[in-house]
């Protein structure tokens, strides 16, 4: 083999390796590549107990219950389905009813979502694009700026998350 053939063989092998690695990664992620699940997705698709996911939607009206210590129980809804969430920690300052939220955690045996992270929306005009689009698909997202012809997610002044 000449030097050129060896070099091409090494490059070809490296490209083959990267292709196989990329394919296996995409296969392993499957439907888990989603940024978050809406409550409707959780109910329809079912999520295994102990499986770590992100759950997004709106904080349900009248659902925030502060318990002993820093434990808070609230509902995350997409106006079709609702999931009960338990969080033990300090909530973001902008966390309140009818506001966008993304939580990270696992489902317990009783179907309650045990969150270890709660992310609230950034400012008065911002909601994560994925949450807004999912709620729009369900016909549940209404925003004052949309009447002016602006996109709900286009008014963000920062990343928020």
Residue 13: its pLDDT value, please? 94
Cα 134 to Cα 70: distance, rounded to the nearest angstrom: 30
Q: Which fold has domain 34-155?
A: OB fold (Dihydrolipoamide Acetyltransferase, E2P) (2.40.50)
List phi, psi (to 5°) of 74.
-150, 170
**pLDDT at residue 144 in the model:** 42
pLDDT of res. 73: 93
The residue extents of the domains of the chain are 1-33, 34-155
**Considering only 22-36, 47-61, 91-105, which range has the smallest mean pLDDT?**
22-36
Strand ranges inside the chain, DSSP E: 52-59, 65-66, 71-77, 82-88, 100-107, 113-120
Using CB atoms within 10 Å of the CB of residue 21, give its burial: 0 to 12 exposed, 13 to 18 middle, 19+ buried.
Answer: exposed
């Amino acid at each position: 083999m000449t030097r050129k053939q060896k070099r091409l063989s090494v490059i070809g092998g490296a490209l083959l390796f990267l292709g196989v690695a990329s394919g296996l990664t995409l296969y392993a992620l499957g439907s888990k590549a989603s940024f978050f699940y809406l409550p409707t997705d959780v109910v329809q698709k079912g999520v295994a107990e102990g499986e770590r996911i992100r759950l997004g939607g709106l904080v349900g009206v009248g659902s925030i219950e502060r318990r002993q210590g820093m434990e808070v129980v609230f509902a995350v809804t997409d106006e079709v389905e609702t999931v009960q969430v338990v969080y033990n920690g300090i909530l973001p300052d902008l966390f309140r009813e009818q506001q966008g939220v993304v939580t990270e955690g696992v489902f317990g045996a009783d179907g309650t979502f045990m969150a270890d992270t709660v992310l609230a929306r950034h400012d008065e005009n911002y909601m994560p694009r994925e949450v807004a689009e999912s709620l729009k698909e369900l016909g549940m997202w209404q925003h004052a700026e949309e009447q002016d012809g602006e996109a709900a997610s286009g008014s963000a002044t920062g990343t928020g998350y």
